[in-house]
Amino acid sequence: MENRNIIVIGASAGGFEAIKQLINDLPADLDAAIFIVWHMSPDVRGILPHVINKMGRLKASHAIDKEKFINRHVYVAPPDHHLLIEDDRVRVTRGPKENRFRPAIDPLFRSAAFSYASRVIGVILSGALDDGVAGLWAIKQQGGLAVVQDPLDAEVSSMPANAINAVRVNHIVPIKDMGALLTKLVQEQAPAPTSGENIDHERTVMEVRLAMNEKLSKKEIFEYGELTPYTCPECHGVLTALREGDRIRFRCHTGHAFSADSLLAGITGYVEETLWNTLRSVQESILLLNHMGDHFAEANQPKVAAMYFKKAADAARLADVIRQATFNHEQLNTDNIRDQANEQPN
């Protein structure tokens, strides 16, 4: 029997300090391999391995595609790349974004669950929205453990709170207690993995293959869910709804994945982008109409010139309406809707 010696950690907003404290609280001889996805901008230099190495305990590095991983080492997802586990090696890919992120937490958790089943400990730290929830679900389905930072202790509570609401979490602890907890859990023997194929297992295989950049047919994705009227905010492909217990998430045929919350944020964000593009186009039409009016005025065609100027004035009024709609538009997610609901009088 193997111990629970695969630790996968996901964090987003507010997670940097939490990661630092957690890794600093782990012993240097921890007999486990640690994998971290921390959401970051694709154009920033990844500093997390350097910060961990300066602490002088566990060694850390950005993962290198197909390198064989070892215990007592921390592997960090490089900027703009997913980090995955495939047998005894790490994979670093530029697969489709999930929940609008790359690296995303779900692909790491899902691939760990597929390769190591009950030996996996999934950890969710501070962050916004709910990336990591679907991956934590996969870990639990395969017999692994779910550990979540106490939302009251997290700088940004959404990710931990969403994980607790959607998954039967094994441990909810403040970050100061998590290092000791993981040190204890790593010493436990993992139960035998569950046997038999099921729809969740088959879908996990499909989704791991997608993150690995393997080519799949549309049918392979569509057969695991139901087609929806929604389109992907990334590529505008048709989205398929995938069910996990009472929870629904979405995938398009090119591979982009969304929770319901990240889809709402993506769609409303796209609405704002569309409004700005529309405003720009209308303003360009005003400039062109006035330019053409000047041209016909100079050509001594005052009636035609006047009509161009009238159309430019009509477009200017339309631009004012679009500008106001743009300024009034909200980018929505579950958190800000809940906040607004709580502000309403009883």
Residue 195 has pLDDT above 80, yes or no: no
- Residue 198 is assigned to a structural domain of this protein: no
- What's the CA gap between 203 and 224, in Å, rounded? 7
Mean pLDDT, rounded, for 224-238: 93
Q: Is 17 left (phi over 0), alpha (psi -120 to 50) or beta?
A: alpha
In a domain, 217, yes or no: no
Q: Could you say which of 152, 186, 220 is where a domain stops?
A: 186
Q: Is 12 a catalytic residue?
A: yes
3-state secondary structure (DSSP) of residue 129? coil
Final residue of a domain: which of 160, 186, 212? 186
Q: pLDDT band at 8, cuts 50/70/90?
A: very high
Active site residue 246: no
pLDDT band, residue 209 (cuts 50/70/90): very high
**Residue 173 falls inside a structural domain:** yes
The answer to whether residues 47 and 142 belong to one domain is yes
Which residue did the predictor score with more confidence, 330 or 215?
330
Mean pLDDT of 172-184: 98
With respect to residue 80, please indicate whether it lies within any of the assigned structural domains. Answer: yes
Residue 309, pLDDT > 90, answer yes
Question: Does residue 200 register a pLDDT over 60?
Answer: yes
Percent of the chain with pLDDT over 90: 84
**Looking at residue 40, what is its pLDDT?**
87
Question: Which one of the listed residues 12, 157, 158, 259 is annotated catalytic?
Answer: 12
Q: Which two tokens stand for residue 254?
A: 């090119």
Annotated active-site residue 81? The verdict is: no
User: Quick check: 267 pLDDT over 80?
Assistant: yes
Same domain membership, residue 135 and residue 17: yes
Identify whether residues 11 and 153 lie together within a single domain: yes
Higher pLDDT, 82 or 219: 82
Kindly tell me if the per-residue pLDDT of 149 is higher than 80.
Answer: yes
**Are 49 and 135 in a shared domain?**
yes
Per-residue pLDDT at 196 exceeds 60: no
Q: Which residue has the tokens 């979405």?
A: 250
The pLDDT value given to residue 194: 66
Token pair of 271 as six digits: 């609405």
Count of structural domains within the chain: 2
d(CA 11, CA 36): 8
Which of 169, 183, 190, 182 lies closest to 118, judged by CA?
190
What average pLDDT does range 201-214 have in this prediction? 90
Please indicate, yes or no, if residue 257 is contained in any of the structural domains. no
Residue 337, in any domain of the structure:
yes
In a domain, 94, yes or no: yes
Q: Does 173 share its domain with 296?
A: no
CATH number of the domain at 124, please.
Answer: 3.40.50.180
Residue where a domain stops, chosen among 186, 201, 226:
186
At 214, the pLDDT band (50, 70, 90 cuts) reads confident
Q: Looking at the structure, do residues 274 and 160 belong to the same domain, yes or no?
A: no
Q: Same domain for 266 and 173?
A: no
Does residue 62 sit in the same domain as residue 172? Answer: yes
From 106, 131, 153, 261, the catalytic residue: 131
Residue 48, both tokens: 């997390």
169 occurs within a structural domain: yes
Residues 179 and 58 in one domain: yes
User: Tell me, what's the pLDDT at 115?
Assistant: 95
Between 170 and 57, residue with greater pLDDT: 170
Domain that holds residue 58: 6-186
Give the pLDDT confidence score for residue 198 in this predicted structure: 60
Mean pLDDT in the chain? 94
